[in-house]
Structures are given as structure tokens and as C-alpha cells.
């Protein structure tokens, strides 16, 4: 999958996926990416020419300070810090690498209000001229992946399509991005175990399916977002923006 924004590895529009009830996910509404620190002049021009008016950054303060985004001046940045880097999750005190399933469980348990706020920003854009929202973290796979999966599921996107979008991230990160992260880990003196390698750049199907299993136990992604602060009218607006009916 070709990247949308030059200087990134994992940027793309979240659009065109089939809805379970018919129709597809609308374009020009939601985008996702890895970090935007290395965006080139061409990449910045792509963002400037797009409908993106809001960027949501899930990175912690240290991540943002180390690699600040490069964006056009008109773009508003909204920060929802989640996790202190992918390697540091809820199990940091146990001095072992957490599984992606554990990381995602931690995100769902700890950041429900943040995910609801993100969905609200997509539903009710602050900039009527540039109403699209781009969400990102460092890799654009875990924090971003869970947020996008919740939004897509809440509007009725076919589950197989959500999974396929999640799986595409590992393909996008393979090669230069993943190799660079591995070199950083090895330079820090950490053993590059299969578990750590998966945490860095993997998007295994069971991990995203664990998100569905958790939210389904409580009535689904829409109910999860409603419980954490999304209003019924927000949900209606979200569905209206992201659903394109069959013509």
C-alpha cells in the first residue's frame, strides 16, 4: 500500500471499506499515520492540499519532544497521550515485554474517555473548511489501530475490512521503519526477542480480534464509546459522516 504523505511509512486514508449494512466508509473524513516528524516538503504540501484540519497525536510527551510533527500552520493538533512508548505498557513493573493483547486491553481499560473524545472530534469537526481528522502515534499501529478500529466498528464497518486495514500496517512498517527500530533496540542493549519484535512492528490478527472480543462483551464498540462519554447525537453524527450509502 502506497503511503499518502511523503516522509511517512504508514499514512493512508481510512475510506472505501464496506459497511455491514451496505455502502462504504466515506472518504475525506478520517486518516491515519505513523509519526509526522520526517514529513518532506512534498508531504507537507499533500497535507495542505487535503481536507485535514485536525491532527490527533496519541504520543506521550517524551515521544513528541524527540520527534515533533511537521505540519502546515493551519492544522490544529490535539494531544491524547497514551502509553509511554509501545514497549512501556501496564506490565513495565514486571520487567517483561507485554503482549499486544495486554497493551490493547490496557488502552481500552484506561483510555475510554480519550477514545470517545476522538470519535467526537471526527463526528463534529472543528474546522468546517478542512473537516477531516488524521490520527497518529509513533508507528500508527497500536494506539492508532485501536482508535480507528473502534470508530470503524461503531459506524458498522465490516469486521473483515477493519482487520485488513489493521494488518496492512505491518506490511507498511516492514523494511526501513522496522529495521531502524530494531537497531535502536539493539543499541540500547535490549535483546531483540520475537515478542519484542512483534510489539515493535507486528499487527497479528489475534491482537485486533481481542479488541473486538472485549468491546463485544459490553455490547460493541458503539456502546463502549457511549459508556465513556460519546453522546447518542455524537454517534449519529459520526455515522452520518463516515457512511456512504449504496447508490
> Which architecture, in CATH terms, is 12-242?
Alpha-Beta Complex (3.90)
pTM: 0.94
Q: How far apart are CA 76 and CA 37, in angstroms?
A: 16
Contact 49, 80 (CB under 8 A): no
Q: What is the pLDDT at residue 97?
A: 85
Confidence of residue 119 (pLDDT cuts 50, 70, 90): very high
Report which secondary-structure segment, H or E, holds 132. strand 132-136
**Could you state, in order of their start, the residue ranges of all structural domains in the chain?**
12-242
Report which secondary-structure segment, H or E, holds 30. strand 30-33
Which three cell numbers mark 137?
502515534
Q: How far apart are CA 247 and CA 244, in angstroms?
A: 9
**Interval 153-204: pLDDT, tens:** 999 999 999 999 999 999 999 999 999 999 998 898 888 899 999 999 999 9
Amino acid at each position: 500500500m502506497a503511503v499518502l504523505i511523503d516522509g511517512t511509512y504508514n499514512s493512508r486514508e481510512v475510506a472505501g471499506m464496506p459497511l455491514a449494512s451496505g455502502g462504504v466508509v466515506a472518504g475525506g473524513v478520517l486518516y491515519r499515520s505513523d509519526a509526522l516528524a520526517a514529513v518532506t516538503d512534498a508531504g507537507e504540501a499533500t497535507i495542505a492540499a487535503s481536507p485535514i484540519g485536525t491532527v490527533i497525536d496519541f504520543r506521550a510527551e517524551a515521544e513528541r519532544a524527540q520527534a515533533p510533527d511537521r505540519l502546515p500552520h493551519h492544522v490544529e493538533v490535539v494531544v491524547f497521550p497514551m502509553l509511554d512508548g509501545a514497549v512501556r505498557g501496564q506490565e513495565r513493573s514486571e520487567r517483561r515485554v507485554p503482549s499486544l493483547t495486554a497493551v490493547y486491553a490496557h488502552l481500552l481499560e484506561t483510555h475510554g474517555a480519550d477514545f470517545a473524545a476522538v470519535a467526537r472530534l471526527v463526528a463534529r469537526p472543528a474546522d468546517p473548511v478542512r473537516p477531516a481528522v488524521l490520527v497518529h502515534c509513533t508507528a500508527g499501529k497500536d494506539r492508532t489501530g485501536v482508535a480507528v478500529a473502534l470508530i470503524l466498528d461503531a459506524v458498522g464497518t465490516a469486521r473483515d475490512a477493519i482487520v485488513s486495514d489493521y494488518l496492512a500496517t505491518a506490511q507498511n512498517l516492514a523494511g526501513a521503519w522496522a529495521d531502524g527500530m530494531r537497531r535502536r533496540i539493539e543499541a540500547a542493549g535490549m535483546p531483540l526477542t520475537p515478542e519484542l519484535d512483534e510489539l515493535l512492528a507486528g499487527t497479528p490478527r489475534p491482537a485486533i480480534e481481542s479488541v473486538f472480543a472485549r468491546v463485544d462483551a459490553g455490547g460493541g464498540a458503539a456502546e463502549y464509546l457511549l459508556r465513556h462519554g460519546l453522546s447518542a447525537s455524537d454517534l449519529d453524527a459520526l455515522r452520518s459522516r463516515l457512511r456512504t450509502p449504496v447508490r
